[in-house]
Chains A and B, each alone.
Chain A
Amino acid sequence: MAVGEQSGTALPLLLPLGDYGLLVRFGAVLSDAANRRTIAFSRRLRLAPPEGVTEIAPNLVSVLLKYDPVRIDFERLAGQVRLLLSDVDADADVDARLPRMQHQIAITFGGSAGPDLVTVAEALRLTPAAFIAAHNAAPLRVLATGFAPGFVYCGFHPEALRLPRRTSVRPPVAPGSVLFAAGQTAIASTAIPTGWHVIGRTEFRNFDASADPPTQLREGDTVIFTALPS
């Protein structure tokens, strides 16, 4: 692990992922700084994809570039990417110019929609009502899409709301389930098994295979959660 990779402030690592992938990794652990750099760099790459790149997919702390090995090899692409990365101001410029969408998402907390609400609140030494208020208090950032169609990670909650995942994985939960763990809130758009705490459910579906694009939330967008009367 490179020095500084923990904090997301070091030079990013450029790693081969198979024989047609280049991963630009801004940190080895999830940090606010590494995620912000990931989002800013992927937005810039999308505006002007490097020669030979066939797909750009941002993750929590890395951007995957798939490339066409017929058109370019890893070393040449890595060289281009290093040049882009050396111009750190350009990321900030693009980031400032591109709009960020804001989404309001209404959640039914607790009850059958959120079977873990009470245990989560207890673990954080809060009443369920106080937990819901704290959970919705500040807007969150969409950190990444991944794991399943339209599945988004949103963060970060303050340290006081940080809770590890459950020790066991639940069988598939309903689409729209609102999940909570590790300082984040995630929204499932399809039925998925999960080890996260299920705290509520939303009518909002971030995945529609017939729409173009099929998802509404993008990394970097702002999400404001509100509570529906349960």
Chain B
Amino acid sequence: MTAIHLTRVSPSTTIQDRGRPGALQYGISASGPMDRGAFERALARLGRPSGEAIEITRAGIAFEVEEGPAETAFEGGAFSLEVNGALHPWPALLRLGSGDKVAVTPGPHGNYGYVAFDGVIDVPRVLGSRATNLVAGIGRSVLQAGDRLSLRPVVSQAAPVDLPPPASGDGPIRFLWGLHADLFASEIRQAFVARHFVISTRLDRMGVRLGDPAGVFSVAPSLSLVSDAIVPGDVQILGDGTPIVLMRDHQPTGGYPRIATVISADLDRFAQLRPGTELAFAPVSLHNARQLYLSSRAR
């Protein structure tokens, strides 16, 4: 059986597929890739209608193909890619053979990259998915150097498609007003749109904490709210005024006030913003968000 041997693994590297939609009723968020578009492009390059990938973090990964061959797709962000010491462009689709040594190292931008194969990464499905959910402790634990992953032949395969890259853009992150927006004073809502925020160093699959240099939420009310449903992209304000954007491994429910929800079409781009990046938020209508959702799917 085809297998790869991981020789260097960045922190919080996991296996992700489309996740566990439908599991909220059991107290489990859906998980899935932080950059869904990049993940889908990796599968499309391999002609896989569904599947899983290794989600790598900023420091990259190194592995050796123990038994090949393996068609391998690399997608997401911009990493540096070397095979047996020779530089390759990123993203890429490469046919790797036995003994090939792959090194993915940090590139100019992005937090998450995807490495997918023409074989199924042989880890058990839990509740219908191979995705690791770090907050719920479900699925394969975080990958470590020394791990060996076997690849099983895929059952169904289509013609590979080369999906166009995501619409680039460093414009504001677009959002819909959130579940508790009405509980924030109008000056705070205006400042949320007018001021800049900064991606902090505290980011993971559960959430991204933001720096708030203008102190928009320094006077935010401390509210006692009934615990309610969370969706990825919710912008929650903690008791000490820290804004946090909840991501794929979010808690299923929460009791902190949420001022906004980042729209689906911008959540991949947001997930790839590195610590220190300045960002602004811009409100859109629900109708506009749906149009953007539909066109991001159609791309």
Interface residues of A (CB under 8 A from B): 1, 15-21, 23, 25, 27-30, 54-62, 64, 66, 69-70, 73-74, 144-151, 190, 207, 209-210, 213-215
Cβ contacts under 8 Å, A55 to chain B: 21-22, 24-25
Cβ contacts under 8 Å, B23 to chain A: 214
CB neighbors of A among B132-148 (8 A): 135-138
9 nearest A-B pairs in the assembled complex, by CB-CB distance: A57-B24, A146-B253, A64-B229, A19-B289, A18-B261, A18-B231, A30-B226, A149-B27, A149-B136
> In the complex, are the beta carbons of A209 and B127 less than 8 A apart?
yes
Least distance between A196 CB and chain B CB atoms (Å):
12
The verdict on B234 contacting chain A, using a C-beta distance below 8 Å, is: yes
Q: Tell which of B25, B232, B286 touches A58, judged by Cβ atoms closer than 8 Å.
A: B25
A144 to B255, CA, bound (A): 14
Chain B interface main SS type: mixed
> In the complex, are the beta carbons of A62 and B229 less than 8 A apart?
yes
CB neighbors of A among B1-41 (8 A): 21-28
Cβ contacts under 8 Å, A21 to chain B: 229, 231
Q: Tell which of B27, B135, B232 touches A146, judged by Cβ atoms closer than 8 Å.
A: B27
User: Known: A17-B179, A19-B290, A215-B27. Is A29-B233 also a contact (CB below 8 A)?
Assistant: no
> In the complex, are the beta carbons of A209 and B234 less than 8 A apart?
no
> In the complex, are the beta carbons of B228 and A61 less than 8 A apart?
yes
- Closest Cβ neighbor of B175 among chain A residues: A18
User: Known: A17-B179, A59-B228. Is A149-B286 also a contact (CB below 8 A)?
Assistant: no
A21 to B258, CA, bound (A): 15
Cβ contacts under 8 Å, B227 to chain A: 59-60, 146-147
Q: Tell which of B127, B287, B289 touches A214, judged by Cβ atoms closer than 8 Å.
A: B127
Q: Tell which of B21, B179, B226, B262 touches A15, judged by Cβ atoms closer than 8 Å.
A: B179
> In the complex, are the beta carbons of A23 and B126 less than 8 A apart?
no
> In the complex, are the beta carbons of A56 and B25 less than 8 A apart?
yes
> In the complex, are the beta carbons of B127 and A60 less than 8 A apart?
no
Least distance between A199 CB and chain B CB atoms (Å):
20
Cβ contacts under 8 Å, A207 to chain B: 26-27
A195 to B48, CA, bound (A): 45
The verdict on B102 contacting chain A, using a C-beta distance below 8 Å, is: no
Cβ contacts under 8 Å, B252 to chain A: 57, 146-148
The verdict on B294 contacting chain A, using a C-beta distance below 8 Å, is: yes
Q: What would 11 A/B residue contacts be, using CB atoms closer than 8 Å?
A: A17-B179, A17-B229, A18-B232, A23-B179, A57-B24, A145-B25, A147-B27, A148-B136, A149-B28, A207-B26, A215-B26
A27 to B227, CA, bound (A): 12
Least distance between A151 CB and chain B CB atoms (Å):
5
> In the complex, are the beta carbons of A18 and B290 less than 8 A apart?
no
Least distance between B248 CB and chain A CB atoms (Å):
13
- Closest Cβ neighbor of A55 among chain B residues: B22
Cβ contacts under 8 Å, B263 to chain A: 18-19
The verdict on B251 contacting chain A, using a C-beta distance below 8 Å, is: yes
Cβ contacts under 8 Å, B290 to chain A: 19, 69, 73-74
The verdict on B104 contacting chain A, using a C-beta distance below 8 Å, is: no
With contacts A15-B179, A70-B297, A215-B26 known, what are 11 further pairs, Cβ within 8 A?
A: A18-B263, A19-B176, A19-B286, A19-B293, A57-B25, A59-B227, A146-B227, A148-B135, A149-B27, A149-B28, A190-B136
CB neighbors of A among B116-141 (8 A): 126-127, 135-138
Least distance between A162 CB and chain B CB atoms (Å):
14
